Amino acid sequence: MTRTICLHGPESTGKSMLAPRLARALGGAVVDEYGRTFAEANGLDFTMADLLSIAQTHDGITRALAAGGIDPLILDTDPLMTAVWADMLFGRRDPWFDDWSGTADLYLLLDIDLPWVEDGTRMFGSVADRQRFFDLSRAELERRGVAWALVGGQGDARFANALAAVQAAGLA
């Protein structure tokens, strides 16, 4: 059975930087954030259909890698995060998101204690938007009742805190 650890949280919290470090430390692989790939190819004017496509594609990639026996998988977001994007962008979500049941074994909610950096695909950089995004991200984890841990810190401390959370959950 493949262990899955999902990095969860708002933009510019270090998910994409942390994922490969965790994969190397744990001997696994990363499932890259498909939403970024989609945005770079299609722009940021998302529709609900786009978000569904992003979530379903990401889920399909994850399942394919898990079926191949790669363990653990470090997910740079998943459909729960895309559901939060729907909440941020539209104030609602397609029912598919609430029906989705492929949650990870552990979610690492990355704190907004890093500075926001514009990279051409990010949208919510104000202090108020970042806090709202973080609050919605945490609420989604709590609503789903999944195992999760808050990860903060700068640089190597953030990595050490993430690895400690994985170890505490018995997944290392």
The pLDDT, as a whole number, for residue 123 is: 64
The residue count of the chain comes to 172
Q: Domain total for the chain?
A: 1
Write the CATH number for 107: 3.40.50.300
Is the per-residue pLDDT at 61 higher than 80? yes
What are the pLDDT digits (tens) for 91-117?
999 999 999 999 999 999 999 998 877
Three-class secondary structure assignment of 98-136? HHCCCCCCEEEEECCCCCCCCCCCCCCCCHHHHHHHHHH
- Domain of 90, in residue numbers: 4-168
- Residue 34 to residues 82, 160, 166: CA-CA distances in angstroms? 10, 26, 23
